[in-house]
Amino acid sequence: MTDRQHTHGARADLLAAARNENWGPGVLPQLPEGVQARRSAVLVLFGVLDSIPAQTPDAAVAKDLDVLLQRRAPTLSSHPGQVSFPGGGRERADRDDVDTALREAEEETGLDPAGVEILAALPALPLAVSNHQVTPVLGWWTKPSKVAAVDHAETVEVFRVPVAQLLDPATRFRSVTSRGSMTFKGPAFDVDGTIVWGFTAMVLDRLFDACGWTVPWDETRVRPVAP
């Protein structure tokens, strides 16, 4: 089977994962009781790389499959400097979470929403540290468009990461982060020195499991990550 056929298989795997009611991360800090969280959405967008990257060992998916990520500006009050999916808070003009995710992705990365097929709006997840209820919107990039950081006050870098590289056991570790008296552990990825952790890593980790893509890795490898 060719890489291109594997890529179409990946879309089917993502659709199947979206139908799995237990797809979400099992452990996420819950929102404080009685607090009204802001409704938000992120675009979890998979597509095909323009060129095939270097070989990775025992990759579970085609080497040209990628996911769109960005790095947030270090001056932001919420999750400064972290790698994230494009997305943000819902606005009054947004009809639903899909609208929010596509609008924010266009504003932050310049992508053309017309080239995005929405596969599913997944169940909302709590993001307690910034008091948001976040809906991951799963997309397939049917016609990839050029992307770059549009507003450097919000986003400093936009990049497409090969999924096979994220699945490489050498890339994976468990992050440890402390806030006050609380300590949190979660999945993380080291992509050539770029650390993907927190909410974004949790969503990717669970999606990879739900799609059947995960390659066994050393889950005892632990590294501290500064919030």
Q: How many Cβ atoms are within 10 Å of 174's Cβ, its own excluded?
A: 18
In sequence order, the 6+-apart residues with CB closer than 8 A to the CB of 43 are: 68, 85, 86, 87, 101, 102, 104, 105, 116, 137, 139
pLDDT at position 109 is: 94
Q: Which long-range contacts (CB under 8 A, 24 or more apart) does 3-6 make?
A: 3/52, 3/62, 3/63, 3/64, 4/62, 4/64, 6/61, 6/62, 6/65
- Reference 78, options 89, 68, 69, 67; nearest CA is 89
Q: In which residue ranges of the chain is pLDDT below 70?
A: 1-8, 21, 23-35, 37, 49-62, 73-81, 128-131, 179-182, 227
As a whole number of angstroms, the distance between CA 99 and CA 53 comes to 32
Kind of pairing, strands 132-141 and 125-127? antiparallel
* Measured CA distances, 74 to 71, 78, 81 (Å): 9, 9, 4
Angle at 14 between CA 8 and CA 19, to 5 degrees: 135
- Reference 21, options 90, 97, 120; nearest CA is 120
pLDDT at position 123 is: 86
Q: List the structure tokens of 126.
A: 């709590």
Three-state SS for 88?
strand
In sequence order, the 6+-apart residues with CB closer than 8 A to the CB of 92 are: none
